Structure 1
Amino acid sequence: MTAQVRIFIAEDHTLLREGLKALIKTNPDWDVVGEAADGVETLERLDPDAVDLLLIDLTMPRLTGVRVIKEVKDNFPTMRILVLTGHSDEEFVYAALKAGADGYVVKDSTNEDLAAAVRNVMKGNGYLSPTVSMDVIRGYIDGKTSPDQPQSKIDALTGREREVLALVVEGHPNAKIAELLYISIKTVEKHKTNIMRKLKVANQSELRTLVGDAPLP
């Protein structure tokens, strides 16, 4: 008899987390052995001796999924990690894979896609949702980006925008950024609006997820 896959769920939305637990319980080969609602809590609760697979979102409070993935892989390289997120943009895919994720599934995938992802990842293979695979392939063909260049869109930012972005990622409020850069709060807000437009993200949480812990030139 095949041993159950012991799964730890890292997801900040309670309803989604409960839904995943209910779904996993329908598969006799899977078992939920732990859960967390933010990145810091994930690292505190994750037991590498009791978990086979970390199922993780990218956009989470306190510590982004990308940074959690990197931390887990640095300390527990044999643990399998499957991203389950709403982000299908290839920049997020590359950031997650570069951090060490073994698979990437978007939340609008079918239950069959998730099951296939878990099976492949636990066999030591990689997995990308069909909905993101074509975007990644197009990226290679077009030469726009590669897994070694997960922050390619940042090249479109001005020097000042990169400075503002670095301070945003560090968690500084607008007033502190204005003070550090000797500019007005209104100017900070304008830069942030331009940054989010260029990087195609909706809020600061997504900015932190996209950038992760990558250096900003």
Structure 2
Amino acid sequence: MADAKRRPGLKPVERRTFLRYSLIGSVGAGLGGFGLASLGFLWPGSPEGLFGEVPLGNANDLADEIQNERAPIRVPEGGISIIVWDPSVSGADAAYGEHHQAILSDDVGLMALNSASCPHLGCGVPWCQSSQWFECPCHGSRYNRLGEWTGGPAPRGLDRYASFINGDGEFVVDLGQELTGPARTANILEQSPEGPHCVDA
């Protein structure tokens, strides 16, 4: 009866063939999952759940932590790295002061960089503690502590967000106002690497 009901032109699948295709499918699914996980590492999430003007904490406390640790504060939810910058450095206030108004003193201000997306191809750009630079693991673009381009294929420095300090003394980042990073020629900080690089150029 089973043979009589079998549709014409269809052949039964051999056990060996079935197992081979099952193995190929399992391996493919595993590699696909690994690939997606890798992409998640290289391309950290966009600022999902964060919109508009976002307070990120007491401005003085943030500045103290950054200076004590000699490292930016990363906000993964927004792909933001909070840095300290010096408005008193020649040319700094003219270049960045208009949109980065979180100024705590003559020589201490806060700024929010978009470290989730390298201007080259969009990879995440982690901080390298030894060199004191941001270094892209995908193609070797590098940026100094201020997010200015220092090398690699990226067309400009890291993009950033407008920011200010509100009436409660909190550092506020405006995620609705993303600013194009400085041109390659910008080198206000003139910061050389302070140790070994984390990523080969």
Q: TM-score, normalised by structure 2?
A: 0.25
Between Structure 1 and Structure 2, the one with more strand by share is 2
TM normalised by structure 1 equals 0.23
Using CA pairs below 8 Å that are at least 6 residues apart, which structure has the higher relative contact order? 2
